[in-house]
Structures are given as C-alpha cells and as structure tokens.
Structure 1
Amino acid sequence: MPVIEELICIEQDGTISFGNYKLGQKAKKSDFEYQGDIYKVKTYNEITKLERNDMFVYESVPGTAAEHFKVTNAGVEFSVEGSQDAQITVQLEEDTDYEVYVNNVAAGNMKTNMSGKLSVSVELEEGVAVQVRAVKRI
C-alpha cells in the first residue's frame, strides 16, 4: 500500500484514504469535501490526524497511511500502513462496546470512553498493510 501523495483522496469504492508517514515535515490539507462534510488531514512521520467538520475522527502515533477508511453505524474499518508499530485512536459512539479485529483476528472487546474514543495498538511493518475493524457489539 503506497502512502497517499495528495494527503487525502476518495477511492473508487467511495471510501477515503489519507496520511503519509514518510514525510519529514508536517503537511496538511484542509477543506476536503466528502459526503457533505469538510475534512482536514495533518500528517507526517510522527503523527497522522483526521478531522471531520473540525471534530476528531482518527489519530495515529507515529504517522500512518490509512486506506479505504469507512465509518458506519456498525463501526469503522480501514487498512493501515506505517514504518513502525502505532497507537491508533478513532472516534466512535460514546460508552459503547466494540469487538476489534486486526487482520480478521479478534483482538478483544473494547469499550469507548465517555467521549467515544477507542484506541488500539497495531504492529506495523513498512510495505505491509494491516486491516483494522471495530464492530459494535449488540
């Protein structure tokens, strides 16, 4: 999976991809319209952050590239690549249980906090995409 050269883009399947963990200096792209919302991405080798309408959506430390990022009522899913292991935080429903999968292997049940943030550590190796999925438990 390559880094996202234009920092954020819409894929043919209607999802978005964003981030470039190979940048040595901070880069950002603002005012990116997607499904009626305005997105902003900030990214470089130390952090990648995505906001929708000035609200938190995604953050990774260190920086990553996320592809086919899709949020639904059931949860979130995306592929992620980076040069080293990363801590990824995503915005979901507050105070809700999610089953988290990494490369289709259950990583456990996690509950979002009162602000709806869910954090997961992902082992990454440059050039190898890892699939992450968090599904709301019913």
Structure 2
Amino acid sequence: MPVIEELIRTEQDGTISFGNYKLETKSKLQDFEHAGDLYKVKTFYEITKLERNGMFVYESVPGTAVENFAVSNDGVAFLVEGDKDAQLTVQLAEDTEYEVYVEGEAAGSMGTNMSGKLYVSVELNEGTPVSVKINRK
C-alpha cells in the first residue's frame, strides 16, 4: 500500500484514503470535500490526523497511511500502514462498547471515553497494510 501522495483522496468505492508517514515535514490539506463534508488532514512521519467539519476523526502516532477509511453507524473500518508500530485514536460514539478486530482477529472489547475516543495499538511493518475494524457491540 503506497503512501497517499495527494494527502487525501476519494476512492472508487466511496471511502477515503489519507496520510503520508514518509514526509519529513508536516504537510496539511484542508477543505477537501467528500460526501457533503469538509475534511482536513495533517500528516508526516510523527503524526497523521484527520478532521471532518472541524471535528476530530482519526489520529496516529507516529504517522501512518490509511486506505479505504469507512465510517458507519456501527463503527469504522480501514487499512493502515506505517514503518513503526502505532497508537491509533478514533472518534466514535461516547461511552459505548466496541469489538476491535486487527487482521480479522478479535483484539478484545474496548469502550470509548466520555469524549468518544477509542485507542488501539497496532503492530506495523512498512509495505504491509493491516486491516482494522471496530464494531459497536
């Protein structure tokens, strides 16, 4: 899975892809329109962050590349790649239990905090995308 050279793009299946963990300096793109929403992405080797309509959606430390990011009423699913293991933060419903799957394997049940953030650690190797799926229980 290559990095997203244009920082953010719409895929043919209606999902979005974003992030470039190979950049040495912070780059950002704002006012990217997708499905009636405006997105803003900031990315480089230290962090990747996505906002929708000025609200937090996704963050990884260190930076990552994310493909086929899809949000539904039940959760979120995407592929993530990086050159180092990463801590992901995803915005979901507040005070809600979710089942987390990494590469199709159950990683356990996790709850969001009062602000709706869920934290997931993933082991990453450059050139190998990892699937992450988070479903409401």
Normalised to the residue count of structure 2, the TM-score between the two structures is 1.00
Matched, 1:91 2:68: no
Deviation (angstroms), 1:31? 0.4
Counterpart CA distance in 2 for 1:106 and 1:20 is 27
In structure 1, list runs of 5 or more residues that go unmatched.
Answer: none
Q: Percent identity?
A: 71
Counterpart CA distance in 2 for 1:46 and 1:84 is 10
Amino acid at match of 2:81: E
Counterpart CA distance in 1 for 2:27 and 2:90 is 20
Amino acid at match of 1:80: V
Counterpart CA distance in 1 for 2:55 and 2:75 is 17
Matched, 1:35 2:35: yes
Counterpart CA distance in 1 for 2:117 and 2:133 is 14
Amino acid at match of 1:116: G
Counterparts of 1:1-138 in structure 2, within 5 Å, are: 1-137=1-137
Deviation (angstroms), 1:34? 0.6
Measured on the aligned residues, the alpha-carbon RMSD in Å equals 0.3
Give the 3-state SS of the residue equivalent to 1:66 in structure 2: strand
Deviation (angstroms), 1:58? 0.2
Flag as ranges the 4+ runs of structure 1 deviating above 4 A: none
Counterpart CA distance in 1 for 2:134 and 2:126 is 23
Matched positions, count? 137
Counterpart CA distance in 2 for 1:36 and 1:94 is 24
Counterpart CA distance in 1 for 2:34 and 2:113 is 27
In structure 2, list runs of 5 or more residues that go unmatched.
Answer: none
Amino acid at match of 1:87: Q
Structure 1 residues 49-96: Cα deviation after superposition (integer angstroms, max 9, x where no partner): 000011000000000000000000010000000000000000000000
Counterpart CA distance in 2 for 1:62 and 1:21 is 8
